[in-house]
Structure 1
Amino acid sequence: MRNKQGTAALMGVIAVSVLAGGGVAFGVAGTFDHPGPRPDGTALTPVGWQVTPAGSTHPAGSFPANAVLSPDDKAVLVPGVIRNAHSRQTVDVLDSRTGALLQEVELNPDDAAKREGVAPGLVFSHDGRRVYLATANKNSVLGFNWDSAAHRLTLAKTLALPDGSYPQTVTVSPDDKKVYAVGQYARKLFAVDVATGATTSAPTGAYPFGVALSGDGRTAYVSNQADKTVSVFGVAAGSLVPKTPIAVGTHPNHLLSDPARHRVFVSNGDSDQISVIDTRTNTVRHTIALSPYRGAGAGTSPLGMALTRDGNTLYVANAGNNDVAVVNTSSRGQFGQVRGLIPTAWYPTGVQVTKDGSRLLIADGKGLGTGSNKGSASMTDPTNHPWIEDLVKGMLQVVATPNQGQLRRYTHQVQLNNDTASSGTVRGYGRGAPATIIPRHPGQGSPIKHVIYVVKENRTYDQILGDLGKGNGDPSLAIFGKSVTPNQHALASKFATLDNFYVNGEVSQDGWDWATQGNSNPYNQLATHQGYDGNGSEYDSSGYLDSHVTAGNADSSKAFLWDRAAAAGQSFRHYGMHSLPSDWFGPKNRVKCAAGTYCAYEPLLNRNTDHAYPWFDMNITDQSRFTEWKKEFDQYVAKDNLPSWQFVDLPRDHTNGWYAGGSTAKAMVADNDYALGQLVSTVSHSKYWKDTAIFVVEDDGQDGPDHVDAHRSPALVISPYTQRGIVDSHFYNQTSALRTMELLMGLGPLTQYDAAAVPMIWTFGDRANLTPYEALAPQQSLAAKNPANATSAMTPQAMMGRPDQVDAHVLNEEIWRSVRGPHANMPPAQHHVFPAQP
């Protein structure tokens, strides 16, 4: 918490120090702090880490995906999104000294069929007269003329690529006659003749992303995000000749060519390294470690890079750590040594350095976060409830290159922001820590032997518990209040009211990864902002593919909580979280799925899946999901073999839009609430109640308003050791929940984020209250239907005046636009065109 002078209150776990030259250095989340922008230009992210961006900051669209300097260093070009009626891809041209917006180029503003792309691929030709931009879902590379005097772009030509290519990055041949574009979904590298548009291609590895050329232009390199490889191609006579791929780190993304020194730098997004390829031998010459401390899990997430003109210093945008690393790449001193860190805003994606080395230009994808999305006072006002992704505003930082002393101070600031100084310890156990059963270190032991982890869909705290009558709620926003969700109200009151709990991501695509693996990796972060709201991109965050491309870990087979549990010899059962219907499985899949059942693509998860438990289908009630779960639970009770873990998806609070004959939003949320209440009642009346903890979170909060922050979400922790009737207002988030479950069950953290999270030590006491819970039937009818004149074509403004059908807002159809493939039970008004299954 800060006062107007920018000081910080010492509340439990917040770290504070004064920087030389004035100012206050803030650490990670204060005990009762909350996320969002601060008046002093700093912020707290929902992940729980402070951001204190260095230099000056300037607006740069929504999720700027890169930063590219003009040849004269006077302008910086930032590809991103303009959030308007159509969410168009844009290129912002900004003054590289002042950050002033010189031009905003909106792509195809009248093409309502093509939503955002946000491709990071943007490059100047060597003669400085042209700019080429990859367009992702538009399947083309756009060529612009560059006016170096006015610093303006003018569209000159479109270089078409085959449908379904989805180009992400581009580069230009030394003679400027060819453009090389990476088609991520086509799994190809394309060479395009600038004059004629003629195209040749060659296959790459899985999920190709970055592209670079050797200095002589005779060799092309392509990073494969799902393969741990860089593809290599000989370039001669207009052809691309595949050569032996080069093994690099996990999930490589951006490439940076250094022709003068015969090397290509590779950002490895989930092993948190830079691989340095010698282009004369096509071998990895060096590997540069970027993790903040020895033994750190994944989470640094290196993306864009820049090299000083003399080649002696490499700058790396560490998206996950909210900093730019300053790395020695000279022959003097220790090659690859991280000299220091420069603090950024939330999620830096790209960095550039001027030719004279005096300034850095840093693109920050998420800026300072969101803050409240309550909008105006009344739910009937159509200006209320801005969508969470519309509130995520990017930034451009203009930073004077720091001298050695300033870099030391910056580095200390980053360490405070991310609390890396306390790595390896369980945070929160300082003076005044309560008596609790949460262990102080992994493996210490606890009375909890069984965890049931329930993930629901898309609600904010105020939507559900704003009318609870205790804690920090806004009753005016409680559209699914006590009459609709009596069980969530009763559970929050009887056990613990968590009124300062946040989801880490913005929407389902990144939210599910945060909820189940404590990370959302660079592939998934970009993909979320590229295509979540329906531009035809692939949607992989819930395990729909066999590639592990979204697995945010150096070892993709150890990314998820169930992977960690299985590795520790703990049994688990999976109910619907990563399940898909059998008709989504083809002959090439490693998993065979019997007709009429539900399976998981990943073999370990599938072996532990209840194949009768339905996947995300809003026309299947959560009552039927509870019935299937209870059938197995009763068998476990009878046989005395309850698994250590149960992973349960109860998704129907997502709702399904406003269409004739469909269930109303309130009916669906009530169905979800009653299913949860019955699950808790079943467990609490069983012999396993005494040693069980049930954790309930939402995957994201995208479909509702909240007066504190758009990320604030209802969460429940239900156990004999939490049945205390308290209000716990300590700052927690999804990784806090993961850390708590891990400690209770003797597991170490999955990533840097749950390692740094404060576990829910104030929620749990040290004495058990074994009183069972009795489920409450909602007053709301579970059978209520939308009227015959309902239509999904209603405008959001009209829908906002209908609290019972408020979820007819187009936001609630996001999942249907995002998942790939047909859904047999989807109402006709909600059908969309999807890309083919792989």
Structure 2
Amino acid sequence: MRFSFAFIPFLFISAFLFSQNRMVKTLQVPGRNEFCKIDTTGGYSVLPSGRRVTPVGTTLRITNDPFGLAVSPDGKRAVALHSGALSLIDATNPREALRIPDYAKTFTDPFKGATFLGAAFAPDSKIVYLSGGDKGNVIIFDTDKKEKIGEISLNQPVGNHLFEESFTSDLVLNAAKNELLVLDRAHFRMIRVDLATKQITASIPVGRQPFGLSLSPDKKYAFVANVGLYEYPLVPGVTPKNKDTMMLKFPPYGTFTKESIEGVEAEGRKIPGLGSPLVPEAMSVWMIDLMTNKVSGKFKTGNQIGEMIEEAEIVGGASPNSVAVGKRFAYVSNATNDNISVIDCQTRKITGHIALKVHPSINKYRGLMPFGMALTQDEKTLYVALLGFNAVAVVDLITRKVKGLIPTGWGPTKVKLSPDEKNLYVVSARGLGAGQNGGRGFIKPARGTYIGDIQLGTFQKVPLPSATELQKWTQQAIDNTFETVSLTDDGKNPLPPLPGARTSPIKYIVYVTKENRTYDEVLGQLSKGDTSLARYGTNVTVFSKKDTLRHVDVMPNHQRIAKQFAYSDNFYCDSDASIHGHHWMIGVIPNEWVEANSNHSSTFNAFSKAPGRRFPKATGAIDPEDYNETGGLWEALERKKLPFYSFGEGNEFAGVSEEWDHLEFGARQPVVFPLAKSVFDHTSRNYAGFDMNIPDWLRMDQFEKEFTEKWLTPKKGTKVDLPRVIALQLPNDHGAGVRPEAGYPYPHSFMADNDISLGRMLQFLSHTPYWKNMLVVITEDDPQGGVDHIDAHRSVLMLAGPYVKRGHVSHTHANFGSILKVIYNTLGVPYVNQYDATASLLQDFFTDKPDFTPYQMVIPDKRIFEVDKAMEIYKKTFDWKTAKPGPKMDDPDEQRREHYRQQNEN
């Protein structure tokens, strides 16, 4: 749909539009009335977000998550680098890609599971140098022989310093010197390697977490993009021997506070601060003089933390990730800011920024996430991969404006020009989406059915467009992403069509996130489900090595809640795994740092001498490096001065310890990681977040106790009101290894624990005085544990409360953006990013005729889970007369193994 109006500003709308039966214009995704689908015949594919993708040019589906791309000097070959795999492509006629190692094991695996994002061809167009990532090496690969012919270790002594535990990040070839320039993100350095001897000739300190590397045309300067914000220290007093008792029970401070800068007394010791996020080492670009091996420039690109932008404080660093260097200017993509910094290489100054504006309706919001870039030889045009917008931006460097968009697959990462500059090559991480990964008639592909295996990336060869073609493609890219939807607002629906439109009778929202289940697994016996996949439904058969149980009700509360209130049969997690999911669900778009790390091996070592090894990545928490420019849900509520509270959300930092008695937060940390400032003072200190050694039922004890003390029976004379948003993590449907002695004799036992605890929570809430104005949103952070016959991303979304339609099934395409739009519109909070602003509107869930009937929980089959058995270790039992009106989170390799184990058992 083409746009024929100037988008009405938010404040103007809220001032006059909303008497009854007013026409309202909203932005929504084009696929809001469609289910996810993959179309390889030239049509469009529908993504979990409800956006469409229509990659132009010649499109080839390749292995998932290509984050490295190289084109041979003769223009005949292209190489895409994935996690532990390589795609070898005929760049002149890309009909198929050769995957190495292949699934038939014809070719020897050259990587042994570890790669990252660096790839560079030698001048002969046959040899390619590849980043070995976590293994700290460079692989030398012969594309003719299709085999590894050598490697270079970064773990070499330099002078008197012995470097160990290196991590190979980006690399470039300096053919004139027959050398490689390589980034080692573990040791925060750039090294130079003599290819004749494979020896390191120089080791140059750079900023934190060096990520992107480029070479000037005259080969005199290297530019390093550093995406790290902090160097995270070991918690004082923690050693390998005492770590189980000395780790911190709770993060010591919030980010960007006096305490986080200077340090604080916590848990009986002095916890060091992290320093200022504005130092040159943090999120910056460094220029290195290759004649002297000295740093000749340090640039803080993009918008800086603490600045104000449109009355919102910037809380996320710019995340500079890639550099394209010309004769005079260097261009830096700042993912968080949706802009390009321009550095004058002669004056060593930032001369300006190019705002990447693609349409007036959404230019005020962030979400493009610029990543890889390609600069033309005449330096008049810059091509920028927009990771968050599924397009390549064509930037006119004379006018410094976006002159058009080229549609790509889902999540473009890298873009290259052919040597003759007639074609553009683009790789996208998730391509056309995942599609189904199970169900009747489904044929398992050789690559497998785990979500990270079945979802293919794409490689595109795109002839550079004419002005007419570019105009057409630009409109196509916009239409793929959002359209204007006019609707009549009668003033009655409890979900207003826009934030601030009017007051909703819903005052309180409880936002419940669970772990790793697909729709068909849990609700497959209901609408649009596949009963053959409903292994956690009701009246199912449970298989195990020791016995078979028949007519088992595994998760009966889920089906009761769905039938009594409302659920979606067309909801999708935008995420593949928890590292994405816990970002998306609180409105933080995963940036290039999160995406590149999510599917690549990265070993954490709290006691490493390499500072980068103390921070490979979080899993369910959000690290400071991940923050979006103005934050997400928490920051939006804080700006609006609306109270909120979190029970256990975001506790899974890197390297945490999780045991049955870690009840305060569910995890203890050996390294000093902070919480976001906005949520630090609004997080329970007595609720166990993700920790598979703790029963969900115990979490409900903690939740009910704190809820009652704070908001039902506060101290006399204390005036309280329930926070407007309560986030609560209920994670045991993640599943873990069976523990019969602890009350979990079957994998299904964890699901039953989760189910009865969810039922108990809703029963409790629906008997409080807040229920009459409450909405409970129940979902999963990601779907990676299971299978679904429509799409591997399809998952659970249930809404409960007096203003939710009873017995309703929503067919509206929904995602995390849709959930956030419910929260923002209901509470009158302005949108934060493009995904919020353009998400589908779920008004069909609601009614203006409330039903205040409370919920009554049901008890799953005691053959698979008994509450009292699981609570024995805590010396607690439950008075059933009152029941009236392990593993780390989402390590991809562990989850892949568990996925296939469960498929083999069914």
Q: Same fold (TM over 0.5)?
A: yes
Match of 1:278 in 2: 344
SS, match of residue 348 in structure 1: strand
Match of 1:487 in 2: 557
Q: Is the 8 A contact 2:118 2:170 kept in 1?
A: yes
Match of 1:788 in 2: none
Structure 1 position 491, deviation (Å) = 0.8
Q: Is the 8 A contact 1:114 1:138 kept in 2?
A: no
Structure 1 position 612, deviation (Å) = 1.4
The reply to whether residue 361 of structure 1 matches residue 425 of structure 2 is yes
Q: Give the whole-Å Cα distance in 1 for the aligned partners of 2:60 and 2:510.
A: 45
SS, match of residue 461 in structure 2: strand
AA partner of residue 422 (structure 2): S
SS, match of residue 247 in structure 1: coil
Match of 1:525 in 2: 595
Q: Is the 8 A contact 1:272 1:290 kept in 2?
A: yes
Structure 1 position 717, deviation (Å) = 0.9
Structure 1 position 296, deviation (Å) = 3.3
Judged with a 3 Å threshold, the aligned counterparts in structure 2 of structure 1 residues 596 and 646 are, in CA distance, closer, same or farther, namely same
Structure 1 position 337, deviation (Å) = 1.5
Structure 1 position 705, deviation (Å) = 1.3
Structure 1 position 137, deviation (Å) = 1.1
Q: Give the whole-Å Cα distance in 1 for the aligned partners of 2:460 and 2:340.
A: 23
2:617 to 518, 539, 543: 539
Q: Which of 105-114 and 93-102 deviates more?
A: 105-114
Match of 1:303 in 2: 371
Match of 1:293 in 2: 359
Q: Counterparts of 1:56-95 in structure 2 under 5 Å? A: 56-81=58-83, 89-95=84-90
Structure 1 position 782, deviation (Å) = 5.8
SS, match of residue 611 in structure 1: coil
Match of 2:684 in 1: 610
Q: Which of 172-181 and 567-576 deviates more?
A: 172-181
AA partner of residue 448 (structure 1): I
Judged with a 3 Å threshold, the aligned counterparts in structure 2 of structure 1 residues 362 and 601 are, in CA distance, closer, same or farther, namely same
Q: Counterparts of 1:664-679 in structure 2 under 5 Å? A: 664-679=746-761
Q: Counterparts of 1:560-579 in structure 2 under 5 Å? A: 560-579=632-651
SS, match of residue 417 in structure 1: helix
Q: Give the whole-Å Cα distance in 1 for the aligned partners of 2:287 and 2:464.
A: 36
Structure 1 position 756, deviation (Å) = 0.6
Judged with a 3 Å threshold, the aligned counterparts in structure 2 of structure 1 residues 224 and 533 are, in CA distance, closer, same or farther, namely closer
Q: Give the whole-Å Cα distance in 2 for the aligned partners of 1:328 and 1:583.
A: 45
Match of 1:462 in 2: 520
Q: Which of 195-204 and 485-494 deviates more?
A: 195-204
Structure 2 length normalisation: TM-score? 0.75
Q: Is the 8 A contact 2:110 2:148 kept in 1?
A: no
Judged with a 3 Å threshold, the aligned counterparts in structure 2 of structure 1 residues 114 and 777 are, in CA distance, closer, same or farther, namely farther
Structure 1 position 479, deviation (Å) = 0.8
Judged with a 3 Å threshold, the aligned counterparts in structure 2 of structure 1 residues 362 and 233 are, in CA distance, closer, same or farther, namely closer
AA partner of residue 443 (structure 1): G
SS, match of residue 531 in structure 1: coil
The reply to whether residue 322 of structure 1 matches residue 390 of structure 2 is yes
Q: Give the whole-Å Cα distance in 1 for the aligned partners of 2:186 and 2:151.
A: 23
Structure 1 position 176, deviation (Å) = 2.9
Match of 1:438 in 2: 495
Match of 2:875 in 1: none
SS, match of residue 408 in structure 1: helix
Note the alpha carbon deviations across 1:641-676, whole angstroms, 9 max, x for none: 221221100000111124674622222111111111
Q: Give the whole-Å Cα distance in 2 for the aligned partners of 1:383 and 1:126.
A: 35
Q: Give the whole-Å Cα distance in 1 for the aligned partners of 2:146 and 2:668.
A: 56
AA partner of residue 155 (structure 1): I
Match of 2:186 in 1: 185
The reply to whether residue 501 of structure 1 matches residue 579 of structure 2 is no
The reply to whether residue 158 of structure 1 matches residue 155 of structure 2 is no
Q: Give the whole-Å Cα distance in 2 for the aligned partners of 1:151 and 1:596.
A: 48
2:135 to 138, 142, 164: 138
Q: Is the 8 A contact 1:256 1:306 kept in 2?
A: no
Q: Is the 8 A contact 2:297 2:348 kept in 1?
A: no
Note the alpha carbon deviations across 1:81-114, whole angstroms, 9 max, x for none: 4xxxxxxx23322122210447544499899997
Judged with a 3 Å threshold, the aligned counterparts in structure 2 of structure 1 residues 268 and 133 are, in CA distance, closer, same or farther, namely same
Match of 1:511 in 2: 581
AA partner of residue 94 (structure 1): I
Structure 1 length normalisation: TM-score? 0.81
Judged with a 3 Å threshold, the aligned counterparts in structure 2 of structure 1 residues 299 and 399 are, in CA distance, closer, same or farther, namely same
SS, match of residue 625 in structure 2: coil
Match of 1:86 in 2: none
Match of 2:272 in 1: none
The reply to whether residue 448 of structure 1 matches residue 530 of structure 2 is no
Match of 2:246 in 1: none
SS, match of residue 458 in structure 1: coil
Q: Is the 8 A contact 1:653 1:669 kept in 2?
A: yes
SS, match of residue 425 in structure 2: strand
Unpaired runs of 5+ residues, structure 1, are 1-6, 8-26, 82-88, 586-592, 786-811, 821-838
AA partner of residue 75 (structure 2): D
Q: Is the 8 A contact 2:380 2:396 kept in 1?
A: yes
Q: Give the whole-Å Cα distance in 2 for the aligned partners of 1:375 and 1:561.
A: 36
Structure 1 position 433, deviation (Å) = 9.0
SS, match of residue 189 in structure 1: strand
The reply to whether residue 122 of structure 1 matches residue 98 of structure 2 is no
Match of 1:18 in 2: none
Q: Percent identity?
A: 29
SS, match of residue 732 in structure 1: coil
Q: Give the whole-Å Cα distance in 2 for the aligned partners of 1:560 and 1:674.
A: 31
Structure 1 position 452, deviation (Å) = 0.8
SS, match of residue 516 in structure 1: coil
The reply to whether residue 690 of structure 1 matches residue 772 of structure 2 is yes
Unpaired runs of 5+ residues, structure 2, are 2-27, 156-162, 230-281, 304-316, 539-552, 606-612, 658-663, 715-719, 868-885, 895-906
AA partner of residue 626 (structure 2): T
Match of 1:247 in 2: 301
Structure 1 position 203, deviation (Å) = 3.1
Match of 2:12 in 1: none
Q: Is the 8 A contact 1:246 1:283 kept in 2?
A: no
Q: Which of 525-534 and 406-415 deviates more?
A: 525-534
How many pairs are equivalent? 734
Judged with a 3 Å threshold, the aligned counterparts in structure 2 of structure 1 residues 304 and 153 are, in CA distance, closer, same or farther, namely farther
Match of 1:803 in 2: none
Q: Is the 8 A contact 1:256 1:264 kept in 2?
A: yes
Judged with a 3 Å threshold, the aligned counterparts in structure 2 of structure 1 residues 416 and 653 are, in CA distance, closer, same or farther, namely same
Note the alpha carbon deviations across 1:460-495, whole angstroms, 9 max, x for none: 111111123xx2111111111131111111110011
Q: Give the whole-Å Cα distance in 1 for the aligned partners of 2:207 and 2:678.
A: 24
The reply to whether residue 393 of structure 1 matches residue 481 of structure 2 is no
Q: Which of 648-657 and 183-192 deviates more?
A: 183-192
Match of 1:475 in 2: 531
Q: Is the 8 A contact 1:93 1:151 kept in 2?
A: no
Match of 1:623 in 2: 697
Q: Is the 8 A contact 1:103 1:152 kept in 2?
A: no
Structure 1 position 397, deviation (Å) = 1.1
Match of 2:227 in 1: 225
AA partner of residue 474 (structure 1): D
Q: Is the 8 A contact 2:579 2:619 kept in 1?
A: yes
Note the alpha carbon deviations across 1:781-801, whole angstroms, 9 max, x for none: 46469xxxxxxxxxxxxxxxx
Structure 1 position 237, deviation (Å) = 6.2
Structure 1 position 748, deviation (Å) = 1.6
2:722 to 626, 633, 642: 642
Structure 1 position 434, deviation (Å) = 10
Q: Give the whole-Å Cα distance in 2 for the aligned partners of 1:265 and 1:378.
A: 47
Match of 2:803 in 1: 721
Q: Give the whole-Å Cα distance in 1 for the aligned partners of 2:602 and 2:36.
A: 23
Note the alpha carbon deviations across 1:392-445, whole angstroms, 9 max, x for none: 1111111121101111111110110011x54xxxx5x52699952111221232
Q: Which of 528-537 and 242-251 deviates more?
A: 528-537
Q: Give the whole-Å Cα distance in 2 for the aligned partners of 1:418 and 1:236.
A: 44
